[in-house]
């Protein structure tokens, strides 16, 4: 049985599915940096894409592309052009299924990206503080799979 290729936003208001993965990249262009609020954007082209829950917000980030996002929680979801749909890999229910094939727009790449593995981990005291903080968290995030109703007990699903 083939695993469902699905994903969605953090709050569960917007969900999607697709038939097949295409090429995956890490884009370093400034537009993707701003759209993701990060140093880069991990994106994968997909085939047979469809929205299955909710309605995405759409921002025309250029004359050629639109960015899909959740209006409720702000999660970046897609980069859409007339020719392709690319999904934000972090919004997939199982992002580990995507093999990254290449870096794009490296002229805009931040130097730190090439050295992330050299950044030290937090010292044990900070780690213990983080562990204590994390132990108190009750996640309101949608689970990494489709649900009939969300949030639990919500009639609209």
Beta bridge partners of 41: 27
Q: How many domains does the chain have?
A: 1
**Does the pLDDT value for residue 52 go beyond 80?**
yes
What mean pLDDT, rounded, does the chain reach? 91
Asked if residue 124 belongs to a domain, the reply is no
- Tally Cβ neighbours within 10 Å of residue 39: 16
For residue 72, the domain's CATH number is 2.170.150.70
pLDDT tens-digit series, residues 55-80: 999 999 999 999 999 999 999 999 99
Residue at 137 is within a domain: no
Q: Tell me: pLDDT of 150 over 80.
A: no
Residue located via tokens 């996640």: 139
* Measured distance CA(152)–CA(157) in Å, rounded: 8
pTM assigned to the model: 0.85
């Amino acid at each position: 049985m083939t695993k469902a290729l699905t994903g969605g936003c953090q709050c569960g208001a917007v969900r999607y599915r697709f038939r097949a993965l295409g090429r995956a990249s890490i884009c370093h262009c400034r537009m993707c940096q701003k759209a993701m609020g990060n140093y880069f954007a991990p994106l994968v082209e997909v085939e047979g894409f469809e929205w299955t829950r909710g309605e995405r917000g759409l921002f025309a980030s250029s004359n050629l592309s639109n960015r899909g996002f959740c209006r409720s929680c702000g999660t970046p979801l897609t980069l859409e052009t007339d020719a392709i749909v690319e999904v934000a890999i972090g919004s997939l229910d199982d992002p580990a299924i995507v093999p990254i094939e290449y870096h794009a727009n490296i002229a805009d790449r931040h130097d730190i990206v090439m050295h992330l593995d050299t950044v030290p981990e937090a010292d044990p005291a900070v780690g213990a503080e983080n562990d204590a903080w994390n132990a108190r968290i009750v996640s309101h995030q949608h689970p990494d799979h489709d649900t009939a109703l969300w949030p639990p007990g919500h009639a609209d699903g």
